[in-house]
C-alpha cells in the first residue's frame, strides 16, 4: 500500500468520540473511560441512560484494571465531539445508509490523524466510504458486549494505513479489550460470521416450534459451560439489532431469510425488542 499522511495522534490530551449512546455505545464509552481515556459521547436523543450506565460501572471496571476513570463529556454536536478527537467510534444502528451519511460527515470534521472506526458487526467500512476522501484512517473496530465480552475486532476498509492496526490494538489492550485483526474484507468479521449462523438456527428452532427459548439457553449453557444463553444474549443486544444484522447477511451472503422474517413479524414489528423493551425471546 502506498504511504499515507497518517501519523500517530496524541492520545493523552485529546478525547475519544463515541457517536451513539445505545446499548453498545455506552458500554464502549465506559470501558475507555475506566481505563483513563477521556470520552465525548454524542447522542441526538436523550443520553441520560447512557450517562447513568457509565457512572454505575466505571469505578468497578477501573478497579479491575488498576486505573483511574477519566471524564465523560456529552454533546449533541457532531462537530464538538469529533473536532479534536484522536479516535471516533461510530456506534449507531446497523443500517448502511445511516453509516454512510455519518462516516462521510465525520471524514470532513475529524482531524486528518483521527482514526474513524465503525462498530458495525456485519457491514464493512469498504461499503461506507462512498463519499469520503481520507480513507487511510477509516476502518472497522467492532466490539461485542463489554465488560462481559471484551474481544475487539479490527478490519481494513481496503485503504486503511497498516500502521493504524498495531497502534489501535495496543490502545485497545490498555483499555481492557482483547484485540483481533480480521485479515481480509469480510461481512461479519471473525466471530460474528460464526455467531450469526448459530443465531439463525436458534431462531428457526423457535419459529418451527421445536422448543422454547429457556430450554435452548439451558441446554446451551450446560453443553458449552457458558454463563449466558444465546436467547438471553440476543435479548440483551436488542432484537431490532439482531434483525438488522440478519438483513445485511441476507443481502450480502444470500442466507435463508425464514428466521429473519419470523423475528420481524413476531417481535420487531410488535415492539418486543428484548431487554430494552421489557419483552423478548425469553418473555
For residue 241, give the CATH number of its domain.
Answer: 1.10.1040.10
One domain for residues 162 and 250: no
Neighbouring CB atoms inside 10 A of 219's CB total: 12
One domain for residues 146 and 250: no
Instruction: Please indicate, yes or no, if residue 279 is contained in any of the structural domains.
Output: no
One domain for residues 173 and 205: no
One domain for residues 258 and 205: yes
Residue ranges, the chain, pLDDT below 50: none
One domain for residues 21 and 70: yes
Instruction: Please indicate, yes or no, if residue 217 is contained in any of the structural domains.
Output: yes
Cα dist from 38 to 73, 82, 224, 246, whole Å: 8, 13, 37, 34
Domain closes at, from 138, 159, 182: 182
Q: Say what the pLDDT of residue 270 is.
A: 97
Q: Say what the pLDDT of residue 49 is.
A: 94
Q: Which helix (H) or strand (E) holds 279?
A: none
We report the CATH number of the domain holding residue 58 as 3.40.50.720
From first CA to last CA, the distance across the chain in angstroms is: 51
Instruction: Please indicate, yes or no, if residue 147 is contained in any of the structural domains.
Output: yes
Q: Say what the pLDDT of residue 46 is.
A: 85
Q: Say what the pLDDT of residue 5 is.
A: 95
Tell me the torsion sign for CA atoms 25, 30, 36, 42. positive
One domain for residues 80 and 133: yes
Instruction: Please indicate, yes or no, if residue 120 is contained in any of the structural domains.
Output: yes
CA 119 to chain centre: 4
One domain for residues 86 and 158: yes
Q: Say what the pLDDT of residue 1 is.
A: 63
Q: Say what the pLDDT of residue 47 is.
A: 86
- Tell me how many domains the chain contains: 2
One domain for residues 145 and 104: yes
Domain interval for residue 86: 16-182
One domain for residues 42 and 165: yes
- Distance separating alpha carbons of residues 191 and 186, to the nearest angstrom: 11
Task: Sheet containing 138-143: give its strands across.
Answer: 72-75, 39-42, 16-19, 87-90, 115-118, 138-143, 151-156, 178-181
Q: Say what the pLDDT of residue 3 is.
A: 82
- 95 contacts: CB under 8 Å, gap ≥ 6: 244
Q: Say what the pLDDT of residue 202 is.
A: 98
Amino acid at each position: 500500500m502506498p504511504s499515507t499522511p497518517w501519523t500517530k495522534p496524541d492520545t493523552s490530551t485529546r478525547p475519544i468520540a463515541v457517536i451513539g449512546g445505545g446499548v453498545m455505545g455506552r458500554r464502549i464509552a465506559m470501558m475507555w473511560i475506566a481505563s483513563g481515556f477521556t470520552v465525548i459521547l454524542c447522542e441526538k436523543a436523550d443520553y441520560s441512560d447512557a450517562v447513568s450506565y457509565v457512572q454505575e460501572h466505571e469505578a468497578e471496571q477501573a478497579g479491575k484494571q488498576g486505573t483511574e476513570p477519566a471524564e465523560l463529556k456529552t454533546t449533541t454536536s457532531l462537530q464538538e465531539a469529533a473536532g479534536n478527537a484522536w479516535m471516533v467510534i461510530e456506534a449507531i444502528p446497523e443500517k448502511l445508509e445511516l453509516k454512510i451519511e455519518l462516516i462521510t460527515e465525520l471524514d470532513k470534521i475529524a482531524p486528518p490523524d483521527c482514526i474513524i472506526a465503525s462498530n458495525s458487526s456485519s457491514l464493512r467500512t469498504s461499503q461506507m466510504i462512498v463519499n469520503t476522501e481520507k480513507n487511510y484512517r477509516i476502518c472497522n473496530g467492532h466490539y461485542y458486549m463489554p465488560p462481559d465480552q471484551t474481544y475487539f475486532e479490527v478490519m481494513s476498509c481496503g485503504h486503511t494505513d497498516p500502521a493504524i492496526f498495531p497502534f489501535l490494538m495496543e490502545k485497545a489492550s490498555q483499555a481492557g479489550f482483547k484485540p483481533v485483526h480480521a485479515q481480509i474484507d469480510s461481512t461479519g468479521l471473525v466471530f460474528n460470521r460464526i455467531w450469526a449462523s448459530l443465531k439463525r438456527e436458534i431462531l428457526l428452532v423457535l419459529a418451527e416450534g421445536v422448543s422454547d427459548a429457556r430450554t435452548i439457553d439451558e441446554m446451551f449453557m450446560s453443553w458449552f459451560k457458558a454463563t449466558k444463553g444465546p436467547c438471553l444474549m440476543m435479548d440483551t443486544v436488542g432484537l431490532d439489532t439482531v434483525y438488522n444484522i440478519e438483513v445485511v447477511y441476507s443481502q450480502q451472503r444470500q442466507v435463508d431469510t425464514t428466521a429473519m422474517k419470523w423475528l420481524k413479524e413476531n417481535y420487531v414489528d410488535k415492539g418486543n425488542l428484548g431487554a430494552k423493551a421489557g419483552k423478548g425471546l425469553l418473555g
